[in-house]
Amino acid sequence: MNESAQAVPWLTRLSVERPGWVIAGTLAITLLFLTQFPRVQTDTDPKNMLPVTSTVRVSNDEVERWFALHKDVMVLGIVNDEGIFTQETLERIARITHTILKIPGVVVRDVTSLTTTDNVLAEDGQLVVRPAVAEIPRTPAAMVALKQTLLSNPLFVDRLLSKDGTTTAIYVPLEGGANATVIADRIKEVLAKEEGRERYYLAGDPVARDTFGVQMFYQMAILSPIAGLVMFVVLWWMFRSLTLVLAVMGVAMVSIIWSTGLLIGLGYPIHIMSSMSPIFLMAIATDSIHIFNEFGFRLREVRDKREAVLDTIAAVGGPVLYSDLATAIGFVALVTVAIVPVKIFGLLVGFGTLIILLMSFTLVPALLMLLNEERLLQETRSTDAAPSAWLSHLGEFSVRHPKSIGLAGCVLLVMAGVGLSRIEANNNLVHWFKPESDIRTADRVMNARLGGTATAYLVIQGSTEDVMKTPAMLHDIEGLQRELEKDPRVGKTFSVVDYVKRINRVLHQDDSAYDRIPDSVTEIAQDLFLFGMAAKPSDLDNVVDYPFQKANIFLQLKSWDAGVMADLLRRAEVYLRAHPLTGGATLRPAGIAYFNLVWNDEVLWGMLRSFLAGLVLVLILVIIQLRSLLWGILAFLPLFCTIAVIYGVVGLVGKDFDMPVAVLSTLSLGMAIDFAIHFVNRFRHHYAIEPDLEKALRWTVVRPGRGIVQNAVLFAVAFSVMVFASLTPYITVGVFIIGIMLLSAVLTLVGLPALIMIFHTRLPLSSEEMTR
Amino acid sequence: MKTWIVFCATVSLIGMATVGQPSAAVAVDATEIVQKSQAVFFEAGQDLKARIKMTLTTRDGQQRLRELTMLRNNYPAGEQKYFLYFHSPADVSGTTFMVYKYPNREDDRWLFIPALNLVQRVAARDSRSSFVGSDFSYEDVSGRDIEADTHRVVRTEALGSRQTVVIESVPTREADYAKKLSWIDQTTFLPLKDEYYDIQGALYKIFTADEIRDVQGWPTATRRTMTNVKTGHKTEVVYETVVYNVGLGDDIFTERALRRPPEKWLR
């Protein structure tokens, strides 16, 4: 006992001597952090992952100012399979448009629908400017004429109207700071009052983004407690002791409250990523299960509670310390990512992990001291036998077939390598919703019928003023548009060229021969001037800037995949190399689809880099802790294999490496190494006492192995709750965590004994090397 | 209360009538005040010739300049004819625009496009649309039918050094505003400020008469600004020269003149 007492830190000794004080003190500090909670602020906008000052946001803002564009635009699709050109449907479109205009937060002047957008056309020798649907035709003939007129205007087709005349769209720009969910709900109320055969689809980035934000907190608020409850039940089934269960849960709660309280206290908002921290900390807190597992064994051996606690901490203190440190390092490595919310998330969970570590040496021993010794002895005995038999078979198998296991491992790694080579980094906000969800359905339908719900801009920056009035430049732009339209995922492009061509045609009695760019600068200039006199000035402002030096090509894309934008930029680059722009003009991408591409690169690759950095740091930490390069590498291998296999599967099944998967990698890093650290440390400790390789391995698989299995199962069961979430990122997190935990437990318990058997001649195993 | 305000406004306006301003007269209700105001603002003199500089400024401070000569003649029964000749921007120089304005029915408009040597009739059903890309609508430039709104006096108040009567106009026909407040000078009847409110009840456009000069006895807003408070875009109109009663003949307001504008009126 004296020996053990010396081997444990003074804090633990204090906790064993004065458990009441420690528990009271912990509670007091927890309450202190709890007082910060009412000040909580949330930020659900994934855009804010990049700071307002980031290059892409500054650049996008600038482009939006140049061309008077709106940051956030919602799209309402109205579908009538029999065609929208019926009195009833047109009246409905007019009524819905009018009601939408009244919703606060909607930019009244720029709501674009068939009843608000001007059509410029030639009629009876006159140039006519009037809303596309100014009056609803009363006769079938007039209806047919209207349909023909609108479908013959390329400015409308695929943007406001589908080619088959069954679908129209209302574009609803939002004022800065307006909440898209609130506005979407108002629009849905409006739609609910309409009776008829029409179907309605609400899509667009702001809807997806704000809906996700709301859903996310909602899901976290429901799923975290359920996961907690499931853990509670599983823990009780494992230990049959309310105090033990409460201890694990208490550690989790304390770390969640301290870290979140600190975050709120420092004035940071809870972001998408930070909102996941409770469930992560709950998972990490299960590490203390190793203490309880070992305590159960010790108590039966020494039959003295106080001694058992000190012995336990002396035995598992090292592994607990280093495994928690490794976990913390994995998260703190996120600080290297240039993105503030990711840094905060990393620090938040890292801090929480250190709190868990502190609790393992203070609160946990203190709580153990409060246990009823007699009852505990009875309880622990009753749940003892079964898993041990199972584990000893497993240990036997690992020790008997090291070469086969090693070979299987190699095959697994090769297969994982194939998967890894196929992995694609891509973040698609719409895919964060389930396939049958309203948002994804809307997106699918609108993309099938119209030009596309994702918007990007390509800004052509000329070297001189008025260059956008020259035929040469307009031909360049037109050429680029046709080139980009070759990609089937580009549903629509339009630019100043389309307006010039339209005016030119209208001024020539709607003669289709004049549906082209005029040959002289003055003609173009006067066409544009006329357009400015006739139509809404902002229509022109959207595509060309005031000095006519910059032009803006609108792209409507049928997919939110970042890859589409990347492909388009490559296509544009190749095309422009062969067809350089007049006067050395340059191209600059902007818009939400481009933002997603940059976000994708910066956030995902940033997280990937920090993950690799974390891997190296963990390897170094393990080498230092085990004081041996080879031991370090061996302990690192199960983690490495787990990660390779998990991401190999991600690649093989074609799942994108998106934000949730990126976050997971960090967690897997910390968790998967835990098992190996426990395993190797306990094995070496035992081998030093009883230097028989096979026996020591079997013992390790059975005894600390039991803690490992318990930890993995507990973890997996708790996270299985997330499979029932309605947002796909949570489902992904749930499925992958289950996979990571079970796989790393198996790889540790099967792989490590095999590896130790294979390499034992080169491993420093002698007792003098092992003792500290 | 409302009657009392109207009474006060009326009394003060009757008082002003004796000062002998060209257009001051007895006004008994809001509609009549608006009518007076429109008469001074859009119909002063028998005819008018003005050299106008219009500056369009974006929120960012980018500018577009339009210089034009405006000729206007009044006809019986409230009809008017406008002739506009654009001097700049250079590439549209020579573009001309003619409007026959009729009370309570659609205007007739013609445009001459020199690059195409084409006179084009323009059926702009919509007089609320922007005037040459500016923040002013056609209605802001040539006036809106009195009957298209119901008017009421809201209050009288001082605006700077001027006493004004504030009139609220709510459209009964199509309009791009849901409500308009006008501050009308009690002495000159010139509108000194207009506020336009949109369908959500939010202020979006403000008109101000920034400089008022006496031109041949007619008080004339020689500098005026329309600011879109929502977009930050604004348009300033400066009358660099303005002369009334120059003796414009009807021959100027013809298709022939659109193609070959009479030199002497453009200088």
DSSP sequence for A433-479: B-TTSHHHHHHHHHHHHSS-SEEEEEEEE-SSTTGGGSHHHHHHHHH
Q: Are A145 and A207 in contact (CB under 8 A)?
A: no
Q: Is the pLDDT of residue A237 over 80?
A: yes
Give the integer Cα–Cα distance in Å for A767 and B96: 103
Asked if A467 has any chain B CB less than 8 Å from its own CB, the reply is: no
Q: Reply yes or no on whether the pLDDT at B22 is more than 70.
A: no
Dump pLDDT digits (tens) for A91-149: 999 999 999 999 999 998 899 999 988 888 888 888 888 888 888 899 999 999 999 98
Judged by CB atoms closer than 8 Å, whether chains meet at B123 and A536 is answered as: no
Interface TM-score (ipTM) > 0.90: no
Cα–Cα distance measured from residue B74 to residue B247, given in angstroms and rounded to the nearest whole number: 11
pLDDT of residue B221: 93
B91: nearest CA partner in chain A: A522
- Taking 70 as the threshold, does the pLDDT of residue B172 lie above it? yes
- Count Cβ atoms below 10 Å from residue A475 Cβ, excluding itself: 15
Query: Mean pLDDT lowest for which of A64-78, A139-153, A694-708, B10-24?
Result: B10-24
CA nearest to B58 within chain A:
A546
CA dist A107 and A173 (Å) reads 6
Per-residue confidence (pLDDT) for residue B28, from 0 to 100: 54
Nearest to A533 among B60, B132, B198 (CB): B132
Do B86 and B92 contact (CB within 8 A), yes or no? yes
Q: Which residue of B has its CA nearest to A549?
A: B62
Question: Looking at residue A378, what is its pLDDT?
Answer: 64
Confidence (pLDDT) at A247: 81
Residue A766 pLDDT grade (very low, low, confident, very high; cuts 50, 70, 90): low
Q: Which two tokens stand for residue A101?
A: 């205009």
Query: Confidence class of residue A350 from pLDDT cuts 50, 70 and 90?
Result: very high
> Kindly report the CA angle at A640 between A604 and A614, in degrees rounded to 5?
50
Stretch A396-403: mean pLDDT, rounded?
84
User: For domain A63-209, which architecture applies?
Assistant: 2-Layer Sandwich (3.30)
Q: A63-209 and A445-495+543-590 share one CATH topology? A: yes
Contact A359, A30 (CB under 8 A): no
Least CB–CB distance from A546: residue in B62, B132, B202: B62
Domains of chain B: 2-266 (2.50.20.10)
B23 pLDDT higher than 60: no
Tell me whether residues A526 and B111 touch, CB distance under 8 A.
no
Strands B80-88 and B96-102: antiparallel
CB contact under 8 A, A466 and B97: no
In this structure, which CATH number among 3.50.50.60, 3.30.70.1430, 3.90.79.10, 1.20.120.450 belongs to the domain A445-495+543-590?
3.30.70.1430
Mean pLDDT of A67-92: 91
For A161-209, the pLDDT digits (tens) are 999 999 999 999 998 878 888 899 999 998 988 888 899 999 888 888 7
Which of B115, B199, B204 lies at the smallest CB-CB distance from A102?
Answer: B199
* Least reliable range by pLDDT among A425-434, A705-714, B124-133: B124-133
Query: Taking every pair of C-alpha atoms in chain B, what is the biggest distance, in angstroms?
Result: 61
Say which residue the tokens 């589908």 belong to. A162
- What is the average pLDDT across A66-76? 89
Averaged pLDDT of chain A? 86
Stronger pLDDT, A110 or B8, i.e. the higher one: A110
Beta strand extents in A184-241 (DSSP E only): 199-203
> Is the Cα dihedral A59, A65, A69, A74 positive or negative?
positive
Given a cut of 50, whether residue A34 has pLDDT beyond it is yes
CB burial class (10 A; 0-12, 13-18, 19+) of residue B14? middle
3-state class (DSSP) for residue A721: helix
More confident residue, A721 or A748: A748
Q: Is B134 on the interface with A (CB under 8 A)?
A: yes
The mean per-residue pLDDT over the stretch A307-313 comes to: 87
- Say yes or no for a CB contact (<8 Å) between A109 and B204: yes
Across the interface, which of B89, B133, B231 has its CB nearest the CB of A533?
A: B133
Which amino acid belongs to residue A513?
A: A
Would residue B152 be called left, alpha or beta, if left means φ above 0 and alpha means ψ between -120 and 50 degrees?
A: beta
* A510 vs B: CB within 8 A: no
CA distance B165 to B185: 7
Residues in chain A: 772
Greatest mean pLDDT range, A58-67, A179-188, B98-107, B198-207: B198-207
Q: What percentage of chain B exceeds 70 in pLDDT? A: 88
Which ranges of B136-234 does DSSP label H, i.e. alpha helix?
138-142
The CATH H-level superfamily of A2-44+224-370+598-770 is: Multidrug efflux transporter AcrB transmembrane domain (1.20.1640.10)
pLDDT of residue B1 exceeding 70: no
Would the pLDDT of A228 be above 80?
yes
Angle between helices A496-507 and A521-534 in degrees, nearest 10: 90
Q: What is the pLDDT of residue B68?
A: 94
A375 pLDDT band (50/70/90 cuts)?
low
Per-residue pLDDT band for B163 (boundaries 50, 70, 90) equals very high
Domain boundaries, chain A: 2-44+224-370+598-770, 63-209, 445-495+543-590
Tokens 């980031």 belong to A54
DSSP states of A55-106: HHHHHHHHHHHHTT--S-EEEEEEE-TT-S-SHHHHHHHHHHHHHHHTSTTB
Answer whether residue B7 shows pLDDT above 60.
no
Q: Report CA-CA distances (Å) from A34 to A251, A253, A257, B91.
A: 15, 11, 6, 69
Q: Is the pLDDT of residue B11 over 60?
A: no
